[in-house]
Chains A and B, each alone.
Chain A
Amino acid sequence: AQSVAQPEDQVNVAEGNPLTVKCTYSVSGNPYLFWYVQYPNRGLQFLLKYITGDNLVKGSYGFEAEFNKSQTSFHLKKPSALVSDSALYFCAVRGNTGFQKLVFGTGTRLLVSP
């Protein structure tokens, strides 16, 4: 069965600094990987996905993620954090064979200080 680990409950970063939110996964076969963001009292918003191809995926709001097959990781990154990036970030994975449900990590709260 597939699983996702987000090892950090919270990440703190100063505005203007680069940020990284970590995600590792376990899945049979090749993974389909996703990042979502959740603002308070809102639904999840899709940021980016990796299906195949280039290991560096660019998404919304200046976010990008790097797929690393050998380390089974899909870390979310942004070169320069904004206070408005403060939110809850979810990594999700599913396998590529048949129907497999999308499994979400427990979420990482990003706090960007001014």
Chain B
Amino acid sequence: DSGVTQTPKHLITATGQRVTLRCSPRSGDLSVYWYQQSLDQGLQFLIQYYNGEERAKGNILERFSAQQFPDLHSELNLSSLELGDSALYFCASSVALGTYEQYFGPGTRLTVT
């Protein structure tokens, strides 16, 4: 158990809908990362937050947004969902910026029908 929690574990929704994925980092970790894992794209970095502020963006679609709250938990919002958004979404956390290793949560499996 990495100490990173994600809810829900599974999510099934229809195209055009909006969902929110939630992540709680390990105790003491200030940095949160979101990744998307799919069969065709592999593991893709989406976005990073550090102590409530956005620090870096990766391959994140404009339909997707995220935030990190004062208690350091983070939410990833996915809207106008398409079939191609079906994937595993992972949250990871690290102590700080820099070279620190990231600890991954168990993921949320999103299925868009």
Task: Answer yes or no: B49 CB below 8 A from chain A CBs.
Answer: no
Chain B contacts with A in 63-113, Cβ cutoff 8 A = 90, 92, 97, 99, 101-107
* Selected contact of A101 from candidates B42, B56, B103, B104, CB within 8 Å: B56
| Chain B residues positioned under 8 Å from A51 (CB to CB) | 99
Interface residues of A in 63-114 (CB under 8 A from B): 90, 96, 99, 101-107
Interface presence of A25 (CB below 8 A): no
Residue of B nearest to A104 (CB): B43
Is B42 in contact with A43, judged by CB distance below 8 angstroms?
Answer: no
A99→B56 contact, CB < 8 A: yes
A101 vs B56: C-alpha distance when bound (angstroms): 8
Q: Does A44 contact B (CB under 8 A)?
A: yes
**Interface contact A46-B99, CB-CB below 8 Å:** no
Within 8 Å by CB of B99, from A42, A49, A104, A107, lies A49
Q: Is residue B15 contacting chain A, with contact meaning CB distance below 8 A?
A: no
Determine if B8 is an interface residue (Cβ-Cβ < 8 Å): no
Closest to B9 in A: A41
Assess the B45–A99 pair: CB atoms within 8 A: no
A34-B105 Cα distance, complex, nearest whole Å: 17
Q: Given the complex, which residues of A lie within 8 Å of B92, measured CB to CB?
A: 43-44
Smallest beta-carbon distance B110→chain A, Å: 14
In the assembled complex, the Cα of A96 lies from the Cα of B58 at a distance in Å of 17
Does A55 reach chain B (CB closer than 8 Å)? no
Task: Given A43-B106, A104-B42, answer yes or no on A34-B101 (Cβ-Cβ < 8 Å).
Answer: yes
Q: Is A46 in contact with B102, judged by CB distance below 8 angstroms?
A: yes
B42 contacts A106, C-beta separation under 8 Å: yes
The distance in angstroms between the C-alpha atoms of A44 and B103, with both chains bound, is 8
- The chain A residues found within 8 Å of chain B, CB to CB, are 32, 34, 36, 41-46, 49, 51, 90, 96, 99, 101-107
